[in-house]
Structure 1
Amino acid sequence: MPAGKEIDGAAGVPEFYGKELRWQRERAGLTLEQTVRGVFYSVSYLSEIERGRRRMPLDLAQHVDKVLGTDGFFARGCEDVRNAGRRVEGHYFDEVLEMESRALDIVQWEPMLIPGPLQLEPYIEALVRLGTPRVTQEVLKERISTRRARSWVMEDKEGPVSWLVLHESVLRQPLLGYADMAEQLAHVAAVARRGGFVPQILASGAGARGADPFMCGTTVLLEFSGAPPVLYTESMYSGNMVEEAATVEQYRNAYDRLRAAALPPELSLWLIESAAEDYRNGKRPRSFASRLTAKGGPGLRP
């Protein structure tokens, strides 16, 4: 059996755990495919765990212990590994943070909020205080720092190719004072203008066309080189990773319909910049429908 790429067990708890998993599997003379036989987890999923890039769920750990004869070792340790280096964003988001650094493409839908990598400090603070009103200054500072550290996802030229669909209400329902909202939206537009991501706005008048599968909350599709895509959905206090190929494909197709229902990128960018300008002038942004009858919009057609 050919040896896999060496794993640095000293890099962290997940890597140490994964290296032991690979050692025990190879000691038993089993392939990845043989090890996951009988459970609903893919070969690539187990491989990612061995490399310290994914966390081991309890049911898979129990299966592995049974197959490898490891007397409950992996089941006993999987929760400790999951909690190791837990980030303040929420433990359910840990795997997404790990995957972002390896993704080639990221497509995202946001029905209510500006995505984390594009959020400036006032916006982050407002969100944190809404979710945890009694947050301490220390934790607040850490959460702001952690989230701003993710700005590279859309601002780094070497980052993944990103495509973002925002619902129009994100522009028109201010989470901050008008001056801060103007600065926040101007930042979103500036990053898009630099090529950080491709923006699309789903106008309120578009109704449910294409958006029904996504109305529950944030949806992120991550695609990789040499590994199957994964989908992540998130609500206020929880997140869910979807890896089953047929389900991911359903979401991918639904996302294509969502993009078809949304406004074109250049028109969407103009709408973001117009909203920023309205806030700057102390006004709440007009809806896209009302702008259709106004002069000055690029290529507007009723």
Structure 2
Amino acid sequence: MANGSRQAVWEFFGAELKRRRENADLTQVELGARVFVSGGYIGQFEQAIRKPQLDVAQRIDEVLQTDGIFERLCRKLIDDPRYAEYFAKAAELESLATEIYEFAPALVPGLLQTRAYAWAVTVATNPFAVDEYIEEKVSGRMDRARILKDATRPLYWVVLHENVLRIPVGGPEGMAEQLDHIARLTRERTVVVQVLPYAAGPYPIMTGSLKLMEFDDAPPTAYTEAVYSGNLLDNPAVVKRAHAAYDQIRAAALSPQASLPLIESAAEDFRRCASTT
């Protein structure tokens, strides 16, 4: 399903939700209380600003007695071929989060990737795929990044291992563009970025990336990813431990103020390299 078609279905979801809610003579606050979200969230669902989780759609069906229409729509939209199966649920939660904290040990996180960088990563992991498949995956990643442009964008704090600044994904010119993009988002205060330098030595999570997500109306969640696999963690004790590990990494990293010049310097290094090739 193309991006425009997908958005049109979400807009239909929102319009139908509003119609059914009003027919049931319920306010947004009243419906929200019955399905365990805020009235503001119901309003954002109706405007297609936020996308409800599957269990919320199921509760809406139950309260409004809609014979499963919202669950069916939600399942259709969640079943997104642009994302790996193990990441689809995390992508859904990412769009609902109010705060996202991320640690990237080797690659730029998807929300910060440029199109050229995303294309190079996708080709590297799918070397025999046709261009149509690559484009589908890259478009999904670019679509995810739109949450950083929304008025309701989450607080987004990222720690990048210095590896991320040095591994030349997409060639020197592409890397310079990618690092410039991160620096620009940092200067615009869209994101907070720290760099964990090589000198920091070992760190608590050395087997994959970590994403922590906070929500207004749901418990926090952690997502970890390794080779062709991902784990969504919602056990409170495990999530608490993941938060503690992230705090250790953040404490060992350079400050945001010291990280920005390092990112810009790495971009300049790649730019010089590109000019001599």
Aligned to 1:22: none
Aligned to 1:28: none
SS at 2:82 equivalent: coil
Identity of aligned pairs, percent?
Answer: 39
Residue correspondences, number: 218
> Are the aligned partners of 1:157 and 1:196 in contact in 2 as well (CA < 8 Å)?
no
Task: Tell me, in whole angstroms, the C-alpha distance in 1 between the residues paired with 2:183 and 2:151.
Answer: 16
Aligned to 2:160: 166
Q: In the alignment, does 2:144 pair up with 1:153? A: no
> Are the aligned partners of 1:218 and 1:233 in contact in 2 as well (CA < 8 Å)?
yes
How far the C-alpha of 1:83 sits from its partner, in A, is 9.7
SS at 2:273 equivalent: coil
Q: In the alignment, does 2:210 pair up with 1:219? A: yes
Structure 1: gaps spanning 5 or more residues: 1-7, 16-31, 33-46, 54-80, 284-302
Aligned to 1:87: 81
Aligned to 1:278: 269
How far the C-alpha of 1:127 sits from its partner, in A, is 0.9
Match for 1:129: what amino acid? V
Equivalence map 1:1-302=2 (5 Å): 11=13, 49-52=54-57, 85-208=79-202, 211-212=203-204, 214-282=205-273
Alpha-carbon spacing, 1:155–1:207, altered in 2? closer, same or farther (3 Å): farther
How far the C-alpha of 1:84 sits from its partner, in A, is 6.1
Cα deviation digits, residues 49-80 of structure 1 (max 9, x gap): 43248xxxxxxxxxxxxxxxxxxxxxxxxxxx
How far the C-alpha of 1:174 sits from its partner, in A, is 0.8
Task: Report the TM-score, using the length of structure 1 for normalisation.
Answer: 0.66
Cα deviation digits, residues 79-109 of structure 1 (max 9, x gap): xx59962332201111112112221100000
- Cα root mean square deviation, aligned: 2.9
How far the C-alpha of 1:274 sits from its partner, in A, is 0.9
Task: Tell me, in whole angstroms, the C-alpha distance in 2 between the residues paired with 1:48 and 1:146.
Answer: 18
Task: Tell me, in whole angstroms, the C-alpha distance in 1 between the residues paired with 2:163 and 2:183.
Answer: 16
Task: Tell me, in whole angstroms, the C-alpha distance in 1 between the residues paired with 2:77 and 2:149.
Answer: 29
Structure 2: gaps spanning 5 or more residues: 1-9, 18-34, 36-51, 59-74
How far the C-alpha of 1:154 sits from its partner, in A, is 3.1
Task: Tell me, in whole angstroms, the C-alpha distance in 1 between the residues paired with 2:145 and 2:82.
Answer: 16
> Are the aligned partners of 1:111 and 1:218 in contact in 2 as well (CA < 8 Å)?
yes
How far the C-alpha of 1:276 sits from its partner, in A, is 0.6
> Are the aligned partners of 2:78 and 2:88 in contact in 1 as well (CA < 8 Å)?
no
Match for 1:106: what amino acid? I
SS at 2:101 equivalent: strand
> Are the aligned partners of 1:220 and 1:233 in contact in 2 as well (CA < 8 Å)?
yes
How far the C-alpha of 1:236 sits from its partner, in A, is 2.8
Task: Tell me, in whole angstroms, the C-alpha distance in 2 between the residues paired with 1:82 and 1:95.
Answer: 13
> Are the aligned partners of 2:95 and 2:144 in contact in 1 as well (CA < 8 Å)?
no
Alpha-carbon spacing, 1:125–1:48, altered in 2? closer, same or farther (3 Å): closer
Cα deviation digits, residues 129-187 of structure 1 (max 9, x gap): 11111111111111121111122233445310000000001101211211111111001
Aligned to 2:39: none
Task: Tell me, in whole angstroms, the C-alpha distance in 1 between the residues paired with 2:161 and 2:243.
Answer: 18
Cα deviation digits, residues 203-231 of structure 1 (max 9, x gap): 001001xx22x211111000011211000
Task: Report the TM-score, using the length of structure 2 for normalisation.
Answer: 0.71
